[in-house]
Amino acid sequence: MVVIVRCAPMASRRATDETESVLDDVLSRVRLRASISASLRLAGAWSFDLGRDARAHFYVVTEGSARIVASGRKPTRLDAHDVALVAAGTDHALRDGWSGASTAAREVRWPAKGVVELDGGGPVARLLTGCLHVDERHAAPLWSALPDVLVVRARRARAIPALDAVLRLLDGDAVTRGPGGHALAARLADVLVIEMVREHLRTSTRELHGWLSASRDPRLARSIAAMHRAPGEAWSVDRLARIAGMSRTTFATQFSAQVGRAPLEYLRALRLQHAAMLLRDDEHASIAEVAAQVGYGSEPAFRRAFKRWASTAPARFRRLASE
């Protein structure tokens, strides 16, 4: 699925406080770590086949045009100053924007890092490419809520102060020159991705997925926000339904239909994500204290649930996170 962000009526751009609260919580758990992969200057017919990478990719077109060809989907054209985010695990290729061929005449090897130039005798395209490094267990709620290909067009990007500022700084190599330049570019890329996600939430009136779709329903949003604010609470379907102002049956049915999982199943995953964040960030909290904070009355039960979710014990997870 491809979503292109365009200007939307003011009414549709006002996200509820609950939705923004949930998005803030999800992004804080994910801890995006972006990195700049390469600066490309390409002329002629060219293609990069990225395959099904476990990382998410972003592309900024600074000159010319390009196409993102995701498996089984119509190609998405990118023009100068458009920016695209391709979700992790999406089988896709990056191709020239002018030849119109389903496969490019010349395939270029994807660079590990640096600058790639190709003079094939044709229109020139300049792109900045990057990747997102995240823990998939934490990123799953984010990717489940976003389309496979998210595009913010140049006109809209210029209207968003933070996004416009980042794109101007990334346009060229000045930001990477000098001490700490690549680290600065990576932090700018973090802001770039977060602003794209926020803009998708602000402007999209359709094609939202998972908890993001549910959080646009004011009733479901209240229950989702309540769980995110206090994952360790003794939540029940009845209590969540009351917060939503719905009957138990209607709440459970609509929640499952929009989020893709039952309320208490969503809560269990949320608690374990929160536990992982506590293990990573609070070295002084014991395993028993972490278990209690996320609503487990039994430390052994927490240890078993966490190991099923993370494929490793809580103590080992903490050690690995600190390395």
Q: What is the pLDDT of residues 126-177, one digit of tens each?
A: 998 888 877 666 666 677 667 889 999 999 999 999 889 888 887 766 566 6
259, 215 contact by CB (below 8 A): no
Q: Is the pLDDT of residue 286 over 90?
A: yes
Q: Is the pLDDT of residue 242 over 90?
A: yes
What is the C-alpha separation between 47 and 44, in angstroms, rounded?
10
Q: Confidence band (pLDDT; 50, 70, 90) for 264?
A: very high
- Residue type at 125 in one-letter notation: A
Mean pLDDT of 285-304: 96
Find, among 133, 261, 142, 266, the residue nearest to 208 by Cα. 142
Cα dist from 118 to 48, 96, 106, 277, whole Å: 12, 12, 10, 44
Buried b (16+ CB within 10 A) or exposed e, 148-161: bbbbbbbebbeebe
Q: Confidence band (pLDDT; 50, 70, 90) for 30?
A: low
Overall pTM surpassing 0.75 (yes/no): no
Each domain of the chain, given as residue ranges in start order, spans 2-207, 217-322
Mind listing the pLDDT tens digit for each residue in 88-122?
Answer: 888 898 888 876 655 444 555 655 556 777 777 77
Model pLDDT, residue 306: 95
**CATH top-level class of 217-322:** mainly alpha
Fold of the domain spanning 2-207:
Jelly Rolls (2.60.120)
